[in-house]
């Protein structure tokens, strides 16, 4: 769901890179294999500031930097049509319009202007997650169809 990118202030707040509205609605987070209770959260400059129970100092917050923030998939609402949780896309096969398998989604990253899919296959590829490239997502059949040349 996100990653702890840094600390905020001196009272144990952390800065989380995520979709703020989705993660802020969850009261139980898993960080580094430990369950944490979210006490407060607020959006801040494209990130989420969070105060976790038991984290009272900057030093305690610093120990969490770089760790993934997870929530059970079942706790999340279904995304609106045409939008997807990144975790649901990892592992999907990516093919182009000619039926050539370009690889499997290894991970997705936020690259500023738009998100990017990293594919693992015969060679690593980075494809932008934009409508001009991503033509169809078929979750039940675990496939994404893209407009992308084999040699690009």
Per-residue model confidence as pLDDT tens digits over 5-41: 999 999 999 999 987 677 899 999 999 889 999 999 9
At the fourth CATH level, the homologous superfamily of domain 86-146 is: PRC-barrel domain (2.30.30.240)
Q: How is the chain split into domains, by residue range?
A: 2-74, 86-146
Spatial CA neighbour of 63 closest among 4, 18, 111, 116: 4
Coil, strand or helix: which one is 89?
helix
Mean pLDDT of the region 32-58: 94
Does 134 score more than 80 pLDDT? Answer: yes
Phi, psi (rounded to 5 degrees) for 83: -120, 155
Integer Cα distance of 69 and 91 in angstroms: 20
What pLDDT shows up at residue 29?
A: 96
How would residue 79 be classed by pLDDT, with cut points 50, 70 and 90? confident
Query: Given this structure, which CATH class describes domain 2-74?
Result: mainly beta
pTM as predicted: 0.71
CB atoms within 10 A of CB 20: 19
């Amino acid at each position: 769901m996100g990653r702890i990118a840094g600390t905020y202030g001196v009272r144990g707040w952390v800065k989380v890179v995520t979709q703020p509205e989705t993660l802020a609605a969850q009261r139980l987070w898993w960080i580094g294999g430990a369950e944490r209770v979210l006490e407060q959260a607020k959006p801040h400059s494209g990130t989420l500031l969070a105060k976790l129970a038991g984290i009272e100092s900057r030093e305690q917050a610093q120990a969490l930097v770089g760790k993934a923030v997870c929530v059970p998939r079942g706790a999340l609402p279904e995304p609106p049509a045409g939008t997807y949780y990144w975790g649901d896309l990892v592992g999907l096969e990516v093919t182009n319009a000619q039926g050539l398998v370009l690889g499997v989604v290894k991970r997705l990253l936020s690259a500023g202007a738009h998100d990017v899919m990293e594919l693992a296959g015969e060679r690593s590829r980075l494809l932008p997650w934009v409508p001009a490239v991503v033509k169809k997502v078929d979750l039940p059949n675990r496939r994404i169809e893209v407009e992308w040349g084999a040699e690009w």
